Every structure is written in C-alpha cells, then in structure tokens.
A and B are shown apart, each in its own frame.
Chain A
Amino acid sequence: MSTAIAEVATDESTRTRRKWNAANLDLIITPTLALVLLVLAVFVWQYTEFDSTTERILEPASLARQMRQQITLSFWSTLLVVSVAVPLGILVTRRGAPKLKDALVTVLGLGQAVPAYGLIVLFFVWLGQGATTAVIALATFALLPVLRNTIVGLQQVDSSVIEAGKGMGMTALQRLRKIELPLAVPVIVAGVRTAAVINVGMAALAFLIGAGGLGETINAGLKLNRPTAIFIGAALVALVALAFDTAGALAQRYLRPRGV
C-alpha cells in the first residue's frame, strides 16, 4: 500500500515538473526574442546615419504617441473580445441552447478569411473613422480564437465530473461557476493569448482610419522609401506583440487551476 502511494507521488511530481518546464520555456523564449529585437533596434538607431526625412519620421515624441496608441488599441480590443466571446461561448454550449454553435463558428471563420485591411475599411464605411471603430474592427477579427477555445474548453470538461456535480444537487449556474469554467480556463486563456497577439498586429493597420498606432511610421517609411524607419516601426510592433504574448503566458501559468 505505502509503495503504491509513493509510486503515485513520484509519477505526479515528474508530471508537474514537465508541465512547469513547458510553461517556463514559454516564459524564456518570448522575452529572449524580445530582447534580441530590442538590442537590434537600438543598434540600428545608434549606428545608422539618419537623413532629415528619417529623423522626422522617427521623432521620439511621435513614436511614443504611436506606441501608446498601439498598446491602447490592442488592450481595449482584447478586452472587448473576451467580454463578447466568452459569454457567447458559454451561451452556445448550454444544453437546450439553439443549435447555432457550428453556424457561428463557420461564419466567424469566414469573417477571418476576409483580409484584415478590408475588414477595417468596411467598419470605417459603417462607423466612420476613429479609435472606437478600430477597436471594434480588431475585436471582430480576433473573436474566433477566443470563441472557439471557450467552446472547446467547456466541452472538454469530463462529463462524469459534471454529472457528479448535478447528482449532488448543484444548480446549473453552480456547475458552470464551480466546475466548468475553472476547468475550461486554461483553454480559454490560450485563446485570449492568441487573440491579443492578433490584435497587436492588426492595430498596425489602425492608422488607415485615423486611429494612429505604429502603422504610421511603417507607412511613412514605405512611402518615402526609408528602410530604417520601416525596420524601427516593425520592430516596435513586434516588441509590443511579444510583451502581450508574455503577459498571456503568465496568465496561463497563474490562472490554471491547481490539481489540473
């Protein structure tokens, strides 16, 4: 008996260690990449002769503003995605919910096939220009990964666990709150992480409808043929994306329920 328990314990500790390693790898690779990129950007900034046009494009004050806009747009659109996709995912997985789950996933999949550029322009035509339009457009584009992961996350919860909860007299809401959602969190957070990174990338197009962001620098660099400016703009977008990704990895690690 005691040996059996010891065996189980060892088995468990190796499993936890492996899990921990995987999570750690995530938390090592992304920041390392970001660091390399940062060093590279600083290097380029320091050792390249800027002509007056490049200097004007890469003016620190406007870069700082664009960076702030980039982060704000990404943050709010991610928040909007979560607050729409998660409840929607919960809703369509309830028993007796209209069978629109598959239809919804298909439609949103098609939506994602529309080029990001086109989607932003469509929303501009509909809602006019500005940051709000940009946030809504970004959120629409990133809705699918979160919705799909919410559905999958809720569906992969062992049905016998839910059955046991029901058999003990937990109401549907108690089962959702205490069993289904906690057990679906790792999968949902993974979806949110994907969505956040998509949003950062997409926010580089927000300048098209006057919502600013680092896209302005890249665009100016392209139009005026200044490769240094393009590189600096792209590197900053990538840095923001990697920062969001790291935040996502941290969330995945600390929001995962214990024992799972």
Chain B
Amino acid sequence: MTTAQIELRHVSKTYEGVEEPAVKDLSLSVEPGEILVLVGPSGCGKSTTLRLINRMIEPSEGTIVYEGEDVTTVDPNKLRRRIGYVIQQVGLFPHRTIAENIATVPELLKWPKAKVAERIDELLELVGMDPEVYRDRYPSELSGGQAQRVGVARALGADPDVLLMDEPFGAIDPITRDRLQNEFLRLQSTLRKTIVFVTHDIDEAVKMGDRIAILREGSQIAQLDKPEVILAEPADEFVENFLGSGAILKSLTLKRVRDIDLDPLVVLRDPVHRGQALTALAESGSGYAVLVDRDNRPVCWINERSLNSSSELAKAGREISVQLQPEDTLQDALSAMLQSSSGHAVVVDGTGRYQGCCTIESLAHFVVGMGNGGTSLETTGRSA
C-alpha cells in the first residue's frame, strides 16, 4: 500500500448549503502505471472525486497522499504543476500558439528555453502531429480531435507522473474518439503514467481501464476491480444495471484473438487439383476451405460451387475481405466473421502467414468458458 502513487484517505466533500455530501468518506488508492477509471451515472461525484486529487476542489475532510507525501495542505499550484490535467472542453488558450500552449507548465517551472522548444516538438510527435505544421498554429485552426491531442500533449508538458483525465474524449465524434482511445492506449503502453480517468461511458471504461471503480451516489464505490471481473461477476444489482445488457459483447473487447482456439479448417495449397479439393471438402464437412499460396498466405475461400465454376482455383474462390491478427480483439473477430462470405474469419500472423480460422463456434465456446462455469453468465444473461 505504501507504493501507491495517489491515495485518498477517508475523503469527504460537502458543499455549502447542501446536506448530502458529494463525496462521502471515500478511500481509494491508485497504483503506479495503471489506468484507473472512475465510472458512474451523472451526479455520482466522479468528477468531484477527480478534482479532489489535484485540489481543484478542496476536501472537507480526509487526507490526500501523493507519492507517500501528505499534500492536503501544500500550495495547490505547486501540486498541480506535478499532475497533468485534461478536461473534456480541452480549454486550449485561444490566443496562444500550439507551441505556447504546450509550453505552459514547463514555463511555469521556469525550464530553459531550449529545453522547452525541444519538449514541444517531442510531444507533438508523440501525439502524432507534425511539429513543423502545427507548432505555430492557433487552436481555432484545429479540429476537435486535434485539439484534444494538443490537450494531452499540454498535460504531458513537464512530464508528470500522474495524469487526471475528465471525460477527455466525451465531446468527440465516435469514429475519432475510437481512434484517439487506441492512440492513447498505445502511448500509455510506452509512457506508463499513472492515470485517473473519468467517464460516464461503460464501454470506454472497459476499453481504457486496467481497473474500474464503479461509483454510486456520493462517490461510493460499488465495485472496484479489473474490467473482466466486473463484467463476469457484477457485485450487485446496481453494477449489473449499470453494465447494461451488452455485458458479453463488452467483454469481447477485453480478449484477443490469440486467446481462443483457432479452427485449422481445410487448407489447400496452390496449385491443387480439382479432384483433391473436392475430396478434402467432402471429408471436412465444413463447406469451406482456405486456399493459400506457396508462402502460406491466404488467397481466397473455396467451396463446392466455386470448384465447379472455373478451372482456375485462385480466380474461382471468394475474396477474403478481412484478415485478423492475433492482437485484434474478439469484437473485431466477431465483426470480421459477420462480414465474411464464409462466416469464418481468417487469422494471419504479423508477416501475413495463415494461422487458422476464427469461427462462431470457437467464439461461442470461449465466451461460455469465460463465465466461470456459467453461473455468473446466467446472471448477466437474465438482466439482458
């Protein structure tokens, strides 16, 4: 416990003139390098809790411990310069260039100019924006997604160990949001910051969180655990209701294609005789075979009809539109299967070589196995 990056000890926040505290006796610790997601219905106090950590809101009671040091009474401005802060509205300074925005905290900390300039370019590259292009632009010239990238870069300005993110992708369109989430996760896999992330979107929580705290009114923790555990074993009815009906579908984003058993299916290596192919198909009984080239790369789907339609197999078969890689999520696999003409999804390794097939059966089998003997799955099933 002493290794915790941030610790809230019995923290309460009561607003003047309001009887019920917004945050009631909350104790929470955030481990170094993890993304802890605070999620809950609106008004549950999740944002208030986040803002207690950098003392944007002063706690009424309790202690905030940062890297083992009690920071409940230190100068809040100094504390905030050590903690990155990203908000939904981004809040870039409209009258300052992108570079000046990113330089905010380094300048407050009086870094030498050369070091600041270097840091600006480094951060812009980190968030995937060309420094040459964007350095001297103004925030009004950016799209919403780009603005939030700069927001993240600015929060990382002085390389803080901790990032607080208050619904950072909440105001961004779904497609861009998805891309930013993925980019951010990739970034985090190298940066290993300690992150507290607030969202009201359970899907985002499942995707982003190493651990999730589901909060109810008064910022009371309903359940705090790894996402897969919460999805499989919701602690009570509140959590169950909050997860909603799609718990199984959500859990598919947590597992990777490499986690499930692949179906080898029937593999035909080009060149192959029509007769051989027919026999192989008849024996397997699956209706489809995968044609691979000399280098073991999948070429097309073969079934009985395509064998009859043309003598040249490579042209006769149906195209393989989507290929999966072992790192893809099972949700990707499901959508690939639905798109595929054969109902199966081809899995290849990093160099494009055939690994096997993902089938609905193997997926279903895996999902049933995930629910620890099926009891909790039945529970989630009933709430659906």
Does A258 contact B81, Cβ atoms closer than 8 Å? Answer: no
Does A167 contact B141, Cβ atoms closer than 8 Å? Answer: no
Does B108 contact A168, Cβ atoms closer than 8 Å? Answer: yes
CB neighbours of A166 from chain B (8 A)? 56, 80
Q: Is A51 an interface residue (CB 8 A)?
A: no
- Stretch of A26-34, A38-46, A89-97, A155-163 with 4 or more beta carbons under 8 angstroms from chain B: A155-163
Does A169 contact B105, Cβ atoms closer than 8 Å? Answer: yes
CB neighbours of B172 from chain A (8 A)? none
Q: Is B245 an interface residue (CB 8 A)?
A: no
Does B80 contact A4, Cβ atoms closer than 8 Å? Answer: no
Does B56 contact A170, Cβ atoms closer than 8 Å? Answer: no
Q: Is B68 an interface residue (CB 8 A)?
A: no
Using CB atoms, name the residue of chain B closest to A16: B140
| The one of A160, A182, A258 that contacts B91, using a Cβ cutoff of 8 Å | A160
Q: Is B316 an interface residue (CB 8 A)?
A: no
How far is it, in angstroms, between the C-alpha of A9 and the C-alpha of B146 when the chains are bound? 13
Q: Is B93 an interface residue (CB 8 A)?
A: yes
Most buried by A among B76, B80, B154: B80
How far is it, in angstroms, between the C-alpha of A161 and the C-alpha of B154 when the chains are bound? 13
Interface 1/0 per residue, A152-180 and B, CB below 8 Å: 00000010111111111111001000110
Q: Is A61 an interface residue (CB 8 A)?
A: no
Interface size on B, residues (CB 8 A): 33
Does B96 contact A259, Cβ atoms closer than 8 Å? Answer: yes
Q: Distance in Å from the Cβ of A135 to the closest Cβ of chain B?
A: 34
Secondary structure at chain B's binding surface: helix, strand, loop or mixed?
A: mixed
Q: Distance in Å from the Cβ of A41 to the closest Cβ of chain B?
A: 42
Q: Distance in Å from the Cβ of B139 to the closest Cβ of chain A?
A: 7
Does A164 contact B95, Cβ atoms closer than 8 Å? Answer: no
Q: Is A12 an interface residue (CB 8 A)?
A: yes
Q: Distance in Å from the Cβ of A7 to the closest Cβ of chain B?
A: 9
Q: Is A114 an interface residue (CB 8 A)?
A: no
Q: Is B258 an interface residue (CB 8 A)?
A: no
Contact of A161 with B80 at beta-carbon distance under 8 Å, contacts A8-B143, A169-B108 already known: no
Interface 1/0 per residue, B64-99 and A, CB below 8 Å: 000000000000111111000101011111111100
How far is it, in angstroms, between the C-alpha of A168 and the C-alpha of B87 when the chains are bound? 11
How far is it, in angstroms, between the C-alpha of A130 and the C-alpha of B95 when the chains are bound? 44
Does B94 contact A161, Cβ atoms closer than 8 Å? Answer: yes
Does A260 contact B94, Cβ atoms closer than 8 Å? Answer: yes
Using CB atoms, name the residue of chain A closest to B151: A164
Count of chain A to chain B residue pairs whose CB atoms are closer than 8 Å in the complex: 82
Does B90 contact A164, Cβ atoms closer than 8 Å? Answer: yes
Q: Is A183 an interface residue (CB 8 A)?
A: yes
| The one of B78, B94, B143 that contacts A4, using a Cβ cutoff of 8 Å | B143
Q: Distance in Å from the Cβ of B162 to the closest Cβ of chain A?
A: 12
Using CB atoms, name the residue of chain B closest to A185: B95
Does B91 contact A12, Cβ atoms closer than 8 Å? Answer: no
Q: Distance in Å from the Cβ of A147 to the closest Cβ of chain B?
A: 23
Does A167 contact B54, Cβ atoms closer than 8 Å? Answer: yes
Interface 1/0 per residue, A248-260 and B, CB below 8 Å: 0000000001111
Q: Is B104 an interface residue (CB 8 A)?
A: yes
Considering only residues 142-159 of chain B, those with a C-beta below 8 Å from chain A are 142-143, 151, 154-155, 157
CB neighbours of A170 from chain B (8 A)? 77, 104, 108
Q: Is B138 an interface residue (CB 8 A)?
A: yes
Q: Distance in Å from the Cβ of B163 to the closest Cβ of chain A?
A: 11
How far is it, in angstroms, between the C-alpha of A174 and the C-alpha of B85 when the chains are bound? 18
Does B108 contact A164, Cβ atoms closer than 8 Å? Answer: no
Q: Distance in Å from the Cβ of A253 to the closest Cβ of chain B?
A: 15
Does A259 contact B139, Cβ atoms closer than 8 Å? Answer: yes
Does A168 contact B97, Cβ atoms closer than 8 Å? Answer: no
Contact of A163 with B91 at beta-carbon distance under 8 Å, contacts A9-B141, A259-B97 already known: yes
How far is it, in angstroms, between the C-alpha of A114 and the C-alpha of B107 when the chains are bound? 50
Does B142 contact A8, Cβ atoms closer than 8 Å? Answer: yes
How far is it, in angstroms, between the C-alpha of A12 and the C-alpha of B138 when the chains are bound? 10
Does B138 contact A168, Cβ atoms closer than 8 Å? Answer: no
| The one of B95, B104, B140, B143 that contacts A168, using a Cβ cutoff of 8 Å | B104
| The one of A4, A158, A161, A169 that contacts B81, using a Cβ cutoff of 8 Å | A169
How far is it, in angstroms, between the C-alpha of A169 and the C-alpha of B105 when the chains are bound? 7
Does B138 contact A164, Cβ atoms closer than 8 Å? Answer: no
Interface 1/0 per residue, B101-128 and A, CB below 8 Å: 0001100100000000000000000000
Q: Can you give 9 A-B contacts (C-beta < 8 A)?
A: A9-B141, A158-B89, A160-B90, A163-B56, A166-B80, A182-B95, A258-B95, A259-B138, A259-B139
Shortest 9 CB-CB distances between A and B: which pairs?
A: A164-B91, A259-B138, A169-B81, A167-B85, A160-B89, A169-B80, A257-B95, A160-B91, A169-B77
Known: A158-B94, A160-B87, A168-B85. 18 other contacts (CB 8 A): A8-B141, A12-B140, A162-B91, A163-B56, A163-B89, A163-B91, A164-B85, A164-B91, A165-B91, A165-B104, A167-B85, A168-B81, A169-B108, A170-B77, A174-B108, A178-B93, A182-B95, A259-B138
- Give the B-binding residues of A (Cβ under 8 A): 4-5, 8-9, 12, 158, 160-171, 174, 178-179, 182-183, 257-260
